[in-house]
Amino acid sequence: MQSKVYHILPRAKRYKYESGLLGKFEYFLKNFTLEKYIAKKDIIPLKIHLGNDGAFRTIRPQFVQKVVERVKKIPAKPFVTDSVRIAGYDYLEVANKGGYNHLSLGAPIVIADGIYGNDSIMVEAGDLLGKVAVASAIYDAKSMIVLSHVKGHIQAVFGGAIKNISMGGVSAQPRNSSWKEGRGKMHFLHGDIMKWNKEKCILCFDCAKICPAECITFIDKVYTVDKKKCFRCGRCARVCPEGAIEVPITHENFMKAVAEGAKAVLSTFDKEKILYINFLIEMQPECDCMPIADTPVVQDQGILISDDPVAIDAATLDLVTNINPLPGSLAENIDIEKNVDIFSLLHGKNGKIQLIEAEKMGLGSLSYTIEKVGD
């Protein structure tokens, strides 16, 4: 059976609010039966990435506010959340500066695994990960809305619904344990620390500057990592301009691990209790966890809504397949290949692997139908 994906088109063809993307999104939510997924008086996490200093292409607060407003009309009690990506207190400050706060959204901002990132519950994930720590504010919820800003990712190829619930729903490090039971394990299935190539290193120190755990130093010009503090996010390897730092994992295993992480999070919910909303807006080449916002690689494609995480991500990739890259972006000189999405071309890896693995695990279907809204 094919899953349904709604597509709110981005173009505004008339100069009135109802014709714009925000107006069409509000109208869709008003007429969509959200009560199918959320019960009255339930406390509901709106799972989102809150960004970083310098990352200003996250989901616009106006869109999040419309979701908050609609959830309150059920009536239910929404809160906007993500797990610790940088230090929890700093993450809340970043969120506030980006316009994510109670005043602007009408709902509180909550760190899903606590201000210190230790509040989580162990959940079975799969053959590669074993058990992982799911953030407690997500684990305890009865239903959830997942708001995903679509963008590229140097390891996952692209970030959509599956990556959002996997790497954002799994805590970095559970209480009284180590990174081996957190999201870091997705990156480090074949080793316990990054590999450093001294000959390639130019001592730019970008790796130390990006480290959210502040665990990288260069004692006597030697790349040194405090293994106890490091939660194995792999950002240091991603930002190295010379490829001097390597994370020990294959692309295929990493993508399967991402799917397993999503499976662990989804296993804590009953069926038909999660709604996914993908924002194909300002799709930059890298993750919102980086302290930058690069030029979008393709034109905006609007908003997708579905209750199937695999289908919505499949539709996302299809919308950015056989599409011209934007001039001046990282993708501008890429040779377009038929039936290959822009993110896979940009990062030189197959982004659909995470979707294929997720379908195998029963998380959803790659087969879908599109219903266009606001044509």
pLDDT 10s digits, 199-236: 999 999 999 999 988 999 999 999 999 988 888 888 89
Transcribe 178-223 into DSSP letters. Answer: -GGGSTHHHH-SS-SS-EE-TTT-----HHHHH-TT--EEEETTEE
Amino acid identity, residue 70?
R
**Model confidence band, residue 27 (pLDDT cutoffs 50, 70, 90):** very high
Indicate the domain borders of the chain.
3-185+249-373, 191-246
CATH topology of domain 3-185+249-373: Rossmann fold (3.40.50)
What percent of the chain has a predicted confidence (pLDDT) above 70? Answer: 100
pLDDT at 97: 96
Residue-level pLDDT at 6: 98
Report the pLDDT averaged over residues 46-71: 97
Cβ atoms of residues 234 and 187 within 8 Å: yes
Amino acid at 116: Y
Give the mean pLDDT of 57-61. Answer: 97
What is the pLDDT, as a whole number, of residue 174? Answer: 83
Residues 278-285, mean pLDDT to the nearest whole number: 98
State residue 177's pLDDT score.
Answer: 80
Question: Which pLDDT value is given to residue 183?
Answer: 87
Q: What is the mean pLDDT of residues 135-161?
A: 97
Pairing of strands 151-153, 157-159: antiparallel
Q: How far is residue 316's CA from residue 313's CA, in Å, rounded to a whole number? A: 5
Which strand (E) or helix (H) includes residue 168?
helix 161-169
Highest mean pLDDT out of 45-54, 166-175, 212-221: 45-54
Burial of 243 (0-12, 13-18, 19+ CB in 10 A): exposed
Q: What is the pTM of this model?
A: 0.96
pLDDT at residue 259, rounded to an integer: 97
- Give 66: exposed, middle or buried? Use CB within 10 Å, 0-12, 13-18, 19+: buried
Task: Pick 335 or 249 by higher pLDDT.
Answer: 335
pLDDT single digits (tens) 229-274: 888 888 899 899 999 999 888 899 999 999 999 999 999 999 999 9
CA angle 28, 34, 39 (to 5 degrees): 160
Average pLDDT, the chain: 95
If one looks up domain 191-246 in CATH, what number appears? 3.30.70.20
Indicate whether 294 pLDDT > 90: yes
Q: With 90 as the cut, is the pLDDT of residue 190 above it?
A: no
pLDDT in tens, 119-142: 999 999 999 999 999 999 999 999
